[in-house]
Amino acid sequence: MSWILPAAIGIPLLGAGMAALFGRRLWPQRIVALIGVGSVLAASIALIFETDRSGPVVAQLGGWSAPAGITLAADRFSAIVLAVSAAMLFAVLVYAMAQLGRDALDWWFHAKYQVLAAGVAISMLTGDLFNLFVGFEVMLVASYVLLTPKTGPGEVRATMSYVVINLLASALFLVVIAFTYGLTGTMNLADLAVRLGDVDETIRTALGLLMLVVFGIKAALFPLFMWLPDSYPTAPTPVTAIFAGLLTKVGVFVIIRTQTLLFPQEGPSTLILTVAGLTMFVGVLGAIAQNDVKRILSFHIVSQIGYMIMGLGFLSVAGLGAAILYISHHIIVKTGLFLVGGIVESEHGTGALDRTGGLLHRRPVIAVLFLPLALSLAGIPPFSGFVAKLALVQEGVALGRGVIVAVSLAVSVLTFYSMTKIWSAAFWGSPGEEGRPAGRGMVLATVGVVVLSLGVAFFAQPIADLSIRAAAELLDPTVYIGAVLGDA
Amino acid sequence: MSLIGLVVAATLFGIGTYLIQQRLLTRIIIGLGLISHGVNLLIILSGRRGLAPVVTSSVGPDGIADPLPQAMVLTAIVIAFGVTAFLLALALRSFILTGSDAVEDDVEDRRIAGAETGATGEGS
C-alpha cells in the first residue's frame, strides 16, 4: 500500500505539467485535471480504510530508511482530513469548469489548481518537518497565482498583503526549522518526537510556542488572522471557496499534528483554549459588521477555526475526536457556502447585500442549497455542524471548562444571526439587481457538496467513531513513531 | 552556533523588520530579502561545520560538514527567489496601475476612515 503515498502527490503534479502542455485545448486540460484531483481523492479514501485496518501507512522515499531518508506517512487523522479536502477539491473543480468556462477563462487555471492539490497532499502526508515547509510553499505559490488571474487594482492590493504575510510566516517557519535542527540534528517528525524528549523543558516549550505562532498565521488564529478577510474575497469564487475550505485547515492540521506528536502534554491547555475562545468571538464580531456575502463568510472562517482549536485545547481523546469531526464538517460546509455565495453573486452581478434580494422566488433551488449549509454552520440540529458542536460542548462540560463552552454557544447564536442577515438580504425582499443565471455545473457541484454535508450528519455515528479512533492514535504517538522508525 | 553568525543573523532580522513596516512594496521586498538571508544564515549555523560535506581521502569521518542544512538552505533560497520575483512583478503591476507601489489600506479600513472624516468611503 505504501506506493499510494507518493502517487497521491506525484499524479497531480504530473497532471499540472500535462495541463500546461495542452495549452489552449480546453477538454484535454479538463480531463487531465479531473484525473489528477480524482486520483488524490481515490488514494485518500483507500488510505482511510488501510490506516483504520492496519495502522499508519509509511513510505520511505528512495529506499533510505528513516530518519535518514525522506518519509511520507499517513495515519487515520491525515487520511480523514486529506479525503475530505480532496472531495472538496474535486467538487470545486467541477464548479470552476462551469464558471470559468464562460466568465473568466484562464488557461493556466487547471495547472495551478493541480499544483495546489499536490501541495495540500504533501503537507498532510509528509513525515518530515522540512518537507512540510516545502509542501506549504508548493501550496502557497499555487495560491498566489490562483489569486491573480486578473491583475486589477483590487487583486494586486489584496495579493500583496497575502504574499508578504505568508513570506514572513515562511521565514519564521525556517527559523523554527533551524533551531529544531540545531537542537536535535533531525528533521524526521517521528525521530524529533523521540529526541525532543531529551531537550530542556524551557527550550522545548519555547519551540512549541514558536511553532504555534508560525502555523497560527497560516491557520488564521487570533490575533494573527488579519490578513485573511482582506485577501480571500477578491479572488474568483471557486478559488475563494477552495482557499476558505482548505488552506487555513491545513494550518490547523499541522498545529494538531505538531502539538500532539512533538509537544505532548497532559490535560487541557488553558493557553490554547483562550486563543480558541478569542478566535471564535472576534471572528464572529467581524462577520456581523460586514455587508458583503464573501466578506461575511471570510470572517466566519476565522470564527470557526476557534472551534477546531478548542477541540485541540482539551487534549483528550473525545476533545480531539470532536475537533477532527469539526474539521471534516467545516471543510465541506464552508466550501459549500462560498459556492452558494458565488451563485448569488453571479445571479445579481454583485455580492453586496444592499443590492441583492428576492432570490427565493427567482431561483428557489439556490435557497434550498443555502439553508442546510447556513444552519449547519450555526450548529442547528439535525445538520452536521450540530453533531460536531455537540461533541465539543459535551467534552467541555465533562472537563469542567465552563467559560469556553459558554463562549462557543454564544458564538453559535451570533453565527446564526449573521446567516439570517444573508438570508433576508439575498433571498427575501424586493428583487435585487439582475446578473447572469448561474450555470448548471455550478449548481450541480454545489448540490454535491450539500449532499456530502448532509451525509456527515446522517452517518454521524460511524464518522464520529472513526474520529475518536484517529484522536486516540494522535494522543498515543508511539504508534506513529513505531510505524515510521520501525521497531529496530 | 557561533556568536558572530548569530549577531549577523539578528542584525539582518532587525533591519528587515524595520523595512517591512514601510509603505512601499519595493522596500518591503528588500526587507523580506534581508530576513530570508538571516534565516538562511541561521540554518547554516545549525549544522556542524567541517572541511567538506563528504568523506574523502583527506577528510575523515570526524572532519565532515553536515550536508543537510546546506541542502535545506538551497531549497529555501530557490523558494524565496521565486516568491520575490512574483512580488516584484506585483510591485511593477501596482506601479503601472496606480503610479506608485505603495501598499494600500484594506477596503474596510478605508470605509471606516471615510466615515470618520465624513467623506464617502470607496469600495472595490
Prior bond of A382 cis (ω within 30°): yes
| B109 → chain A, closest CA residue | A230
User: What pLDDT is stored for residue A487 in this prediction?
Assistant: 56
Q: Is the pLDDT of residue A264 over 80?
A: yes
Domain contains B102: yes
Q: Is the pLDDT of residue B107 over 80?
A: no
**Number of independent structural domains in chain B:** 1
Q: Is the pLDDT of residue B122 over 50?
A: no
Q: Which residues of chain B does A141 touch, with a Cβ-Cβ cutoff of 8 Å?
A: 79, 82-83, 86
Domain contains B69: yes
User: What pLDDT is stored for residue A100 in this prediction?
Assistant: 63
**For residue A61, what is the DSSP state?**
E
User: What pLDDT is stored for residue A41 in this prediction?
Assistant: 93
Least confident of A31-45, A94-108, A144-158, A259-273: A94-108
User: What pLDDT is stored for residue A136 in this prediction?
Assistant: 93
Q: Is the pLDDT of residue A343 over 90?
A: no
**Cβ contact (<8 Å) for A182 and B1?**
yes
pLDDT average, residue stretch A368-394: 87
Q: Which of A205-209, A221-225, A421-425 has the highest mean pLDDT?
A: A205-209
Which element (helix H / strand E) includes A307?
A: helix A293-314
CATH code at position B93: 1.10.287.3510
Least confident of A123-132, A463-472, B96-105: B96-105
Mean of pLDDT over chain A: 87
For residue range A417-437, list pLDDT tens digits in order.
Answer: 888 888 888 888 777 777 777
Domain contains B105: yes
pLDDT average, residue stretch A257-282: 88
User: What pLDDT is stored for residue A265 in this prediction?
Assistant: 81
Q: Which domain holds residue B22?
A: 3-117
Cβ neighbors of A38 (< 8 A, separation 6 or more) are A90
User: What pLDDT is stored for residue B106 in this prediction?
Assistant: 67
For residue range B73-100, list pLDDT tens digits in order.
Answer: 999 999 999 999 999 988 888 888 887 7
Q: Which of A234-238, A378-382, B88-92 has the highest mean pLDDT?
A: B88-92
> HSE (CB half, 13 Å, CA atoms) of A34?
10
Domain contains B18: yes
The Cα–Cα gap between A437 and A422 comes to: 19
User: What pLDDT is stored for residue B1 in this prediction?
Assistant: 56
Least confident of A69-83, A448-462, B43-57: B43-57
- Interface probe for B, chosen from A156, A159, A163, A166 (most Cβ of B below 10 Å), is A156
Confidence bin at B116 (pLDDT 50/70/90):
low
**Cβ contact (<8 Å) for B87 and A157?**
no
Q: Is the pLDDT of residue A102 over 80?
A: no
Domain contains B78: yes
pLDDT average, residue stretch A101-119: 79
The Cα–Cα gap between A87 and A332 comes to: 9
User: What pLDDT is stored for residue A435 in this prediction?
Assistant: 73
pLDDT average, residue stretch A173-180: 92
SS (H, E, C) chain B: CCHHHHHHHHHHHHHHHHHHCCCEHHHHHHHHHHHHHHHHHHHHHHCCCCCECCCCCCCCCCCECCHHHHHHHHHHHHHHHHHHHHHHHHHHHHHHHHCCCECCCCHHHHHHHHHHHCCCCCCC
Which element (helix H / strand E) includes A2?
A: none
Measured in angstroms, the CA of B47 and the nearest CA of chain A are apart by: 6
Q: Could you count the other beta carbons within 10 Å of the beta carbon of residue A54?
A: 10
**Cβ contact (<8 Å) for B79 and A170?**
yes
Domain contains B123: no
Which of B28, B36, B108 minimises the CB distance to A164? B28
Which of A157, A160, A175 minimises the CB distance to B42? A175
Least confident of A48-52, A265-269, A335-339, A408-412: A265-269
The grid coordinates of residue A76 equal 487515520
Instruction: Provide the Cα torsion A352, A355, A361, A366; round to 10°.
Output: -10
Q: Which residues does residue B52 pair with via DSSP β-bridges, in sequence order?
A: B64
Confidence bin at A441 (pLDDT 50/70/90):
confident
Give percent of chain A with pLDDT exceeding 90. 29
User: What pLDDT is stored for residue A105 in this prediction?
Assistant: 58
Residue A456 burial (C-beta neighbours within 10 Å; 0-12, 13-18, 19+): buried
Domain contains B68: yes
| A151 → chain B, closest CA residue | B93
Domain contains B124: no
Q: Render A309-356 in DSSP notation, one character per residue.
A: HHHHHH-SHHHHHHHHHHHHHHHHHHHHHHHHHHHHHHHHS--BGGG-
